[in-house]
Structure 1
């Protein structure tokens, strides 16, 4: 079960509550009855392995690659000189 962090609106006290993901957020402290608000916590994610890069998701014949741009430039210059 996930653990959620709450903050008391009057006292500023932080406390944790283990709740089901389907439960509604608490509006009052379970012991004191003080109004509370759920605090959003950063997610602890660890990426393991050799890595993943933006270039891994692009297709092999992408126009953004430097090699493809050079080829297209040389083709246009060849066709322009042949037309003269």
Structure 2
């Protein structure tokens, strides 16, 4: 069963509650009978296996794009180098 975090909008009381997915959300604060809201937080995620690092994924396309950019940068200085060598 998942654990849900609730916080009261009136008194600020915060607590955790084990509830099944099919159960209705709590709406009343147990301390002051005020209105409750669910508190959402980031979930912990662990990626295992290959393909999650920059060096693992799309190694073929990364090489071609870096060779394309190096070719274009190499072709741009070539005329400048050729004109300076002829002077």
TM-score band, normalised by shorter chain: 0.5 to 0.7
Q: Any unmatched runs of 5+ in structure 1?
A: 78-84
1:54 aligns with 2:54: yes
TM-score, normalisation: structure 1: 0.58
Q: 1:42 — aligned with what?
A: 42
Change over 3 Å in CA distance of 1:59–1:26 after alignment to 2: same
Superposed CA RMSD in Å reads: 3.3
CA distance in 2: counterparts of 1:60 and 1:51, whole angstroms: 13
Asked whether the equivalents of residues 10 and 35 of structure 2 are also in contact (C-alpha less than 8 Å), the reply is yes
Q: 1:5 — aligned with what?
A: 5
CA distance in 1: counterparts of 2:32 and 2:61, whole angstroms: 64
Q: 1:17 — aligned with what?
A: 17
Q: 2:33 — aligned with what?
A: 33
Moved over 6 A (4+): none
CA distance in 1: counterparts of 2:16 and 2:9, whole angstroms: 15
CA distance in 2: counterparts of 1:54 and 1:21, whole angstroms: 37
